[in-house]
Chain A
Amino acid sequence: MPIRTVMKANEAAAWAAKLAKPKVIAAFPITPSTLVPEKISEFVANGELDAEFIKVESEHSAISALVGAAAAGVRTFTATASQGLALMHEVLFIAAGMRLPIVMAIGNRSLSAPINIWNDWQDSISQRDTGWMQFYAENNQEALDLILLAYKVAEDERVLLPAMVGFDAFILTHTVEPVEIPDQEVVDEFLGEYEPKHAYVDPHRPITQGTLAFPAHYMETRYLVWEAMERAKKVIDEAFAEFEKKFGRKYQKIEEYKTEDADIIFVTMGSLAGTLKEWVDKKREEGYKVGAAKMTVYRPFPVEEIRELAKKTKVLAFIEKNISMGLYGAVFTDASAALINESEKPILLDFIAGLGGRDVTFDQLDEALSIAKKALEEGKVEKPISWIGLRKELL
């Protein structure tokens, strides 16, 4: 029987790792994900998890150790956040380029300067071009489930790409929620043992990994990573369907909420989706035709699902906790690219909110709604991007 208990998202991530039975875990403590390796080291010390736990001197070493371990042919895991993830940056390309199915938990946190340990998505969004798949959890249960799903997709022979699972710093990492821990047998059945088919260490069959590619071959290697990411879209759908059958919890790349007759749909990721759904309920009572949508998968970008969503509404508004300096938020930019050749598209708006752990309140969402309503009534957009919840008196 699955155990229903209460835990923080960090613990849920550690439990997911335990259930997936990685052979090597390398981690360096960083706020807010420190509890993940702490908990896993407990599991290893207690003999509950048969794995090598490598205490490294930085995140750069942590991911490097995992690249080595995964190249040797075992399942691996780590957790990090913010500057730690940024420090891993160069090796993230290597992991993806070598097609190593490493899975990593991210306690989504802002980047310095100024130093800020609280939640936004700038850390993982900044790694979007590395070739890692990206999943975002709305709650602690999703943090656990998505890590299992990440292994399932990453290790699929059609994909073979690393994956990161983000859950919001403190809002989830340090908040206790009910979580159902699935049975080990069911997880074993779902994931199976990792059998390396392309990357391994075998003295009887020496191979060369991470080799040099001249201009004559490099571009093809990059194309193969891109193509694998395209294929991952279908594999993710399959994994979600199988997960639902085995564990009874349904996942979609874009989960819609009260979108059927909505004039304005707000799209977001992570824990903000919970707030948004609650707010949509309230606005529906007040007579506004608004809907919400949650992106569970950010890379590969759910292009088809965004197009479907765009057909249902007059205004598609993105609320995101990240910003690409010099342009708009990354999710908005990607979604706009997905819609660029559509003959009919809704008005697209981008709202930057909640950076550095600022609470995204109903008042701020009302502010976004008033901007969206104005755009809908006037049928035009002066400026697609708005920062909501800014303390204008400080500027």
Chain B
Amino acid sequence: MAESPFKVDIERAQKELTEKMTPGAIVYLPGSSVINKTGSWRVFRPEFNKDKCVRCFLCYIYCPEPAIYLDEEGYPVFDYDYCKGCGICANECPTNAIEMVREVK
């Protein structure tokens, strides 16, 4: 990482983020989504049927999050921590290999 031209004590800033308010309520710690699992919003979850999958990657391309990654063989893997359950993958899948089912907790 290149040296920042700004005089910012990032250590202090990160400490302050968790311990007290910053001027202007600025969040100095990037990547708060690592803490906030957006998948908790989900109402429907995608269920994947490997037998129907032709590994076209369309679900991977269309996922807006992106909460789908591909395993070594090229099959999609769903990251349920971040999948919001929008259903775009199921809608785009040409072989109907993805089915949206109601999330039951």
Mark A residues whose CB is within 8 Å of B: 73, 97-100, 160, 195-200, 202, 204-209, 211, 213, 217, 220-221, 224, 228
B4 at the interface (CB under 8 A from A): yes
A321, B27: Cα distance in complex, Å? 41
Chain A CB count within 10 A is highest, among B10, B23, B24, B28, for B24
User: Which residues of chain A come closer than 8 Å to B13, judged between CB atoms?
Assistant: 207
Which residues of A are found within 8 Å of B5, using beta-carbon distances? 202
- 23 pairs from A and B in contact (CB 8 Å cutoff): A98-B24, A99-B24, A160-B23, A160-B24, A196-B6, A197-B6, A198-B23, A200-B6, A202-B5, A204-B3, A204-B4, A205-B4, A205-B6, A207-B27, A207-B30, A208-B26, A208-B30, A209-B27, A211-B26, A211-B27, A217-B25, A224-B21, A228-B23
Interchain nearest-CB distance for A383 vs B (Å): 44
What would 9 more interface pairs be, CB under 8 Å, given A98-B25, A211-B26? A97-B24, A99-B23, A197-B7, A202-B6, A202-B8, A204-B2, A204-B3, A205-B8, A217-B21
Mostly, the B contact residues are: loop
In angstroms, Cα B5 to Cα A207, docked, is 15
> Which single residue of chain B is at the shortest CB-CB distance from A218?
B25
User: What's the Cα separation between A98 and B21 when bound, in Å?
Assistant: 12
A202 to B5, CA, bound (A): 8
Residue of B3, B10, B27 with most chain A CB atoms under a 10 A cut-off: B27
Interface presence of B34 (CB below 8 A): no
A220 to B21, CA, bound (A): 7
A204–B28 Cα distance when bound, in Å, is 12
Q: Mark B72-94, 1 if CB is under 8 A from A, else 0.
A: 00000000000000000000000
The closest CB in chain B to the CB of A209 belongs to B26
Q: Which residues of A contact B28 (CB under 8 A)?
A: 205, 207
- Closest residue of chain A to B9, judged by CB? A197
CB contact list, B1-45 vs A, under 8 A: 1-8, 10, 13, 21-28, 30, 32
Chain A interface, DSSP helix/strand/loop, else mixed? loop
Taking CB atoms, residues of chain A closer than 8 Å to B7 are 195, 197
Measured between C-beta atoms, what is the minimum distance from A358 to chain B in Å?
A: 41
Give the chain B neighbours of A99 by CB distance below 8 A. Answer: 23-24
**Which residues of chain A have C-beta atoms less than 8 A from B8's C-beta?**
197, 200, 202, 205
A residues within 8 A CB of B2?
A: 204
The interface residues of chain B lying within 8 Å CB-to-CB of A209 are 24, 26-27
State the CA gap A224–B22 with chains docked (Å). 9
Residue of chain B at shortest CB distance from A95 = B24
Complex Cα gap A97–B13 (Å): 18
C-alpha gap A200/B28 in the complex (Å): 11
Contacts of B22 in A (CB 8 A): 198
Minimum Cβ distance to chain A for residue B23 (Å): 5
CA A313 – CA B4 in complex, angstroms?
Answer: 57
Q: Closest B-chain residue to A160, C-beta based?
A: B23
When chains A and B are docked, how far (Å) is the Cα of A73 from the Cα of B1?
21
Q: Which residues of B contact A73 (CB under 8 A)?
A: 6
Q: Which residue of A lies closest to B10 (CB)?
A: A205
Docked complex Cα distance between A205 and B24 (Å): 17
